Structure 1
Amino acid sequence: MRTLLIALPLLCLPALAHALDIPPVDYPTLPATAADANGFVPRGWRIEQRLDGDLNTDRRADLVLVLRQQDPRNVLEHDGMGISPLDSNPRLLAIAWARPDGSYALAAQNHQLIPRHEYPNLSDVFEDGAGGVSIVRGTLQVGLYAFSNAGSWATGSTRFTFRWQHDAFALIGYDNDTMMRNSGQTESVSINYSTAKIRRASGSIETDGEQVGWEKLASTQRWTLDSIGDGAAFNPLP
């Protein structure tokens, strides 16, 4: 449901947002192997979300972790507009293969796809609304949510679907839905990278029907978990 922002990233609002002085972070390198999930958790971090499921078709339950730093210096009090205190502690996505002996081997770690919560007038893209990770039919899905209490009428969500192929977590699906809270207009874009097709739909919350159109994905660019960067700023259709 992406009305006026269809060609723009999910959260293209920094210029409208009240910026805070966010402390820098040195992201840890996770161990290559661990006996259990806790073995991947660095000091000063915690497991925010855990999933178990087969992601590489070997019939063993692999491990997906969303880790979040717990540094009180990243929790910021302020007297401006929006959320206070603001918890800007970053997240780290980790995926590990299950091994026959019950231990795990790290397959990927990423701290960019799920961006930090840095702007008080924007929602936490992961914690609120449709945010979160899931395993669906052997794919990894990461959802981000967008809501602004000032600066924009747009609200919506984006879902990334990854499949392990060619030794990487390849983006095979991108789905974005946006609604304009002032007009009720809705718009969505769905990209299937396996078929190279784009589905666009537009409508209104006041009516049941929507206009749907299909087109061929012109770009040959293929994305992976590591090449997308900031998921909230990602624009698959420049």
Structure 2
Amino acid sequence: DIPPVDYPTLPATAADANGFVPRGWRIEQRLDGDLNADRRADLVLVLRQQDPRNVLEHDGMGISPLDSNPRLLAIAWARPDGTYALAAQNHQLIPRHEYPNLSDVFEDGAGGVSIVRGTLQVGLYAFSNAGSWATGSTRFTFRWQHDAFALIGYDDDSMMRNSGQTESVSINYATAKVRRASGSIETDGEQVRWEKLVSKKRWTLDSIGEGAAFNPLP
């Protein structure tokens, strides 16, 4: 069984990035960039626990040992005096690696976080070595507005490895437009159709829940 985890509460302020790292955790990814349009380089951290009890050996199919150590996403504002103030922390969006037949969502650099034109992007990779032919990636794009990291974009691309069929869904929550495309890796063209986003529901970093289970079109 996957051991339970007590997630830490990060400090409200810190002198530097290391000041946000709890004991038994490490910085897996660090980014610096302006996320609130104040022309200061804010801080984005992906923290990962380093507990050997979460690294599990097993005799079944898939990855062994399985590193189920969880991740925690942290964002901190840069302050004029050079210190940082915590803006958000979230341990749900980036799924914990709990199933040995599935890849880690950050495997081989296919997933991870990035800062693009003042937005925060979180990418999750999906690959199954048993039980499914599907592989793909999902990207969430957030912008700081109305005192929250609002989800403004969602992009999901998938492919069936046995047939080569591809599908993608791209949602712009600001314009309420949905782009769907289907095709094949064997041909250059794809069928594209546009839809209006009917639902008025909007999400933030805190309301999405687990990224792999998120339904963008309820």
Instruction: Decide: shared fold, TM above 0.5.
Output: yes
Work out the percentage of aligned pairs sharing the same amino acid. 95
Q: Which runs of 4+ in 1 moved over 3 A?
A: none
Match of 1:135 among 112, 115, 140: 115
Instruction: Name structure 1 gaps, 5 residues minimum.
Output: 1-20
Unmatched segments (≥5 aa) in structure 2 = none
Could you say which residue in structure 1 is the equivalent of 2:11?
31
Matched residue SS, 2:178: strand
SS, match of residue 232 in structure 1: helix
**Are residues 1:226 and 2:192 paired?**
no
Q: Determine helix, strand or coil for the equivalent of 1:117.
A: coil
Q: Report the alpha carbon displacement of residue 237 of structure 1 after superposing the two structures with TM.
A: 1.6
User: Partners of 2:105 and 2:212 in 1: how far apart?
Assistant: 8
Any idea what the Cα deviations from partners look like across 1:129-186, whole Å, max 9, x if unmatched?
A: 5200000000000000000011111100000000000000000000000000010000
Shift of 1:34: 0.1
1:208 corresponds to 2:188: yes
Provide the rounded CA distance (Å) in 2 between the counterparts of 1:55 and 1:126: 22
Deviation at 1:203, TM superposition (A): 0.4
User: Is 1:69–1:91's contact at 8 Å kept on the other side of the alignment?
Assistant: yes
Q: Secondary structure, in 3 states, of the residue corresponding to 1:218? A: coil
Matched, 1:174 2:154: yes
Larger relative contact order (C-alpha < 8 A, sep ≥ 6)? 1
Residue aligned with 1:227, SS: coil
Q: Equivalent residue of 2:9, what SS?
A: coil
Structure 1 stretch displaced more, 129-138 or 116-125? 129-138
CA contact (8 A) 1:128 1:145 kept: no
User: Which TM-score applies when normalising by structure 1?
Assistant: 0.91
TM-score by length of structure 2 reads: 0.99
C-alpha deviation, 1:126, in angstroms: 1.9
CA distance in 2, matches of 1:108, 1:121: 31
Shift of 1:127: 2.9
Give, in whole Å, the separation in 1 of the partners of 2:16 and 2:51: 24
Contact 1:175 1:190 in 2 (8 A): yes
